[in-house]
Amino acid sequence: MNSAFHPELASSIEKTGIVAVLVVDDAKDAVPLARALLAGGVNAIELTLRTPAALDALREITAAVPEVIAGVGTILTAGQVQQAVEAGASFGVAPGLNPQVLSAAREAGLSFAPGILTPSDIEAALEHDCKLLKFFPAEPSGGLAYLKAMSAPYAHLGLRFIPLGGLNAKNMAAYLADTSVAALGGSWLAPRDLIKAGHWEKITALSAEAVQIIQATRQK
């Protein structure tokens, strides 16, 4: 798919169609959380570096649930790139585009999807050979209509996007129907409060609902 993101890994994420975006406060929740998502059909996750438990959670998941594609999000510094690699991350994601972070990811051999919101962001990403891009925040910035308009001048370059922000079971199908969308970022699959409460069956149900929508949309 692009030189900054391993093609086989990008293909696997696109096949799943959704990446569960997670905020984990306690590493002991990591394994049951991963298994709950997997039971619903979601096998790609992004553990955000918004809590001290994120990297420990990653280690727990990669050891106990290796069939899950586990990446790290909210990577804001070159140092965090190295921490993610050492913890076993399959890929990295950022809310924005930091050239130093992208250079560190390239040096470390970490597949990386930077966050973009403007044509200038896209051009900066292209300078680093990134063509799989996180569109964030999706809905607050204008949603799918904005993404189409903003990315139109670059359509011939084969860019693919992972929208995140304001997505849910009600609006996800419209995004998935667009050919430029590789997968969705799903923060609604496992909200922080459900994780803290250990409501694994609810997380499985939300995941299964999303997977059913993905399958139905892609069959059209």
What distance in Å separates the CA atoms of residue 81 and residue 208, rounded to the nearest whole number? Answer: 31
Residue 46's H or E segment, with its range, is strand 44-48
H helix intervals, 117-158: 119-127, 143-151
Contacts of 43 (CB under 8 A, 6+ apart): 16, 37, 67, 68, 69
Provide the token pair at 50.
């918004």
Distances in whole angstroms, Cα of residue 11 to Cα of each of 60, 69, 193: 25, 12, 31
Which of these is catalytic: 134, 170, 201, 209?
Answer: 134
Determine whether 107 is an active site residue.
no
Strand order in the sheet with 44-48: 111-113, 91-93, 69-73, 44-48, 18-22, 184-186
Determine whether 67 is an active site residue.
no
Sign for the pseudo-dihedral over CA of 118, 48, 83, 184: negative
Q: Are strands 184-186 and 18-22 parallel, antiparallel or unpaired?
A: parallel
Which of these is catalytic: 8, 14, 28, 46?
Answer: 46
Distances in whole angstroms, Cα of residue 187 to Cα of each of 52, 152, 206, 220: 19, 27, 11, 25
Residue numbers annotated as active site: 46, 134
